[in-house]
Structure 1
Amino acid sequence: MPYRRTPAVQARLDDRRRDLLDAARALLADEGYAGCTVAAVAARARIATGSVYRHFPSKSVLAVELFRSVVTTEVDAVSAAARRPADPAEGVAAAAETFARRALRRPRLAYALLAEPVDPAVEAERLVFRRAFRDVLAARVAEGTASGRLPAQDPRLTAAGLVGACAEALIGPLSGAPTAYAPGPPTAEPPTGDPHAADPHTPARLAAFTRRALGAPRADDP
């Protein structure tokens, strides 16, 4: 008769797997993918390195699952922001602003998700990530064009362009911002004078850019 794990044994294994993912998530936020070695994850979780392989057969498998778990949280946050305003254009703008604010609060993590060199398996997941954001935006753009609130346009093409533009606009600040930014009054220039530093006004400016790209600018846009 093949061995079957008891519920108690399975629960302990599930807990250990969650502990490993939590440790990997903390390392990702502090050091990026380069710091997420199997040995570092094991040390952060306070277990033997060999024990990690009982749950994840390779660093690549661990990195893919880690990426999925982190990205799911980000997509959920952006999706909730996109649904909140009644106006479709404001929903898309809110999604772009939320994406940027969350990225700038945890720049090392966001840079890892967006641009850090990674294994091919994680790069494939990165494409899935971008498409998930595209689909969130495309749904609201389609709503706006169907109702006549937005000019006629291809919702998926517009959404893909917005996702790419937001990511590109953030990569410089994220790569040059080792610590999270503190929300404060808008500034004309980044606080440090560094052109790659995180400017607290960036999320609002991306929201304004999004409205203009959709054909729905607002008079008080910065």
Structure 2
Amino acid sequence: MGKTAAKPAKSQLPRVRRTPEEARTLALASARRLLLAEGPDSITLQAVANDLGMSHTNLIHHFGSAAGLQSELMRQMVSELTTTIESAVMRLRAGKGEVKDFVDIVFDAFDRGGAARLAAWMALTGESRHLAPIGEVVRDYIDSVERGAEAEGDAATVHERVTSATLFVTVAALGDAIIGNELRKMVGREREAVRKLIGALLPLVLDTHRAPRSLENR
């Protein structure tokens, strides 16, 4: 009998060495892809590990748990959102933008970026404590806007205007991203309906000294 041919050795993929920062960056990018493609509940350590060819244990080392990964993703997304909002505010102050542009930026960030879905899911599953990073970013944003508006009135008035505008636009953007599409279909309105409404009302929220025209003559 002839010699049996030796079986070819199994090919092995070279092990990729990543720095801790590279591993975290890749994991957060993977988590964001999962969020946008399949929804918040798809963000698990195992799913991210499978996507990256990374060990589950490695991800535990970096994030502690799926909730930790979700919280870090939210921090990243909100930080990006805040930078975008601050830029929009600066453009408005410089006369280079309109209220509509500001509203569109916030709505787009929550809708297309998936931040609204992740925040709602974490709150509804009892993981709202992991939303704490949002508070830090929002407070920094409000402080920076208030410092830039010091000459526009006393501190209490400026604080009320800025926080009111923040609540108004953010809650509307969150709601529109989560359930707006279904509500618009129910009432037969166009996609931009909520944005137009918020854009029309936001100047009244920012100017606490001006009453709506419909109320002034009553």
Structure 2 length-normalised TM: 0.68
Q: CA deviation at 1:115?
A: 6.7
Distance, in Å, in 1 between the alignment partners of 2:207 and 2:119 is 29
Distance, in Å, in 2 between the alignment partners of 1:136 and 1:94 is 20
Distance, in Å, in 2 between the alignment partners of 1:129 and 1:196 is 36
Instruction: State the match for 1:165 in structure 2.
Output: 168
Q: CA deviation at 1:195?
A: 4.7
Is the CA contact 2:109–2:115 (under 8 Å) kept in the aligned structure 1?
no
Instruction: State the match for 1:125 in structure 2.
Output: 133
- Pick from 142, 145, 154: which aligns with 1:134? 142
Matched, 1:112 2:118: yes
Instruction: State the match for 2:199 in structure 1.
Output: 207
Q: Say which SS state the counterpart of residue 79 (structure 2) adopts.
A: helix
Distance, in Å, in 1 between the alignment partners of 2:50 and 2:190 is 32
- For residues 147-186 of structure 1, the aligned pairs below 5 Å read 154-176=157-179
Instruction: State the match for 1:5 in structure 2.
Output: none
Structure 1 length-normalised TM: 0.67
Q: How many residues align?
A: 191
Q: CA deviation at 1:51?
A: 2.6
Q: CA deviation at 1:205?
A: 3.0
Instruction: State the match for 2:7 in structure 1.
Output: none
Q: From the superposition, tell whether residues 47 and 84 of structure 1 become closer, same or farther in structure 2 (CA, over 3 Å).
A: same
Q: From the superposition, tell whether residues 141 and 204 of structure 1 become closer, same or farther in structure 2 (CA, over 3 Å).
A: farther
One-letter code aligned to 1:125: P
- For residues 1-222 of structure 1, the aligned pairs below 5 Å read 12-86=19-93, 94-106=101-113, 108-113=114-119, 116-117=122-123, 119-145=127-153, 154-176=157-179, 190=184, 193-195=185-187, 199-215=191-207
Instruction: State the match for 1:183 in structure 2.
Output: none
Stretches (4+) displaced over 6 A: 90-93
Q: CA deviation at 1:198?
A: 7.7
- Larger Rg over CA atoms: 2
Is the CA contact 2:107–2:177 (under 8 Å) kept in the aligned structure 1?
no
Is the CA contact 1:97–1:206 (under 8 Å) kept in the aligned structure 2?
no
Q: CA deviation at 1:114?
A: 5.9
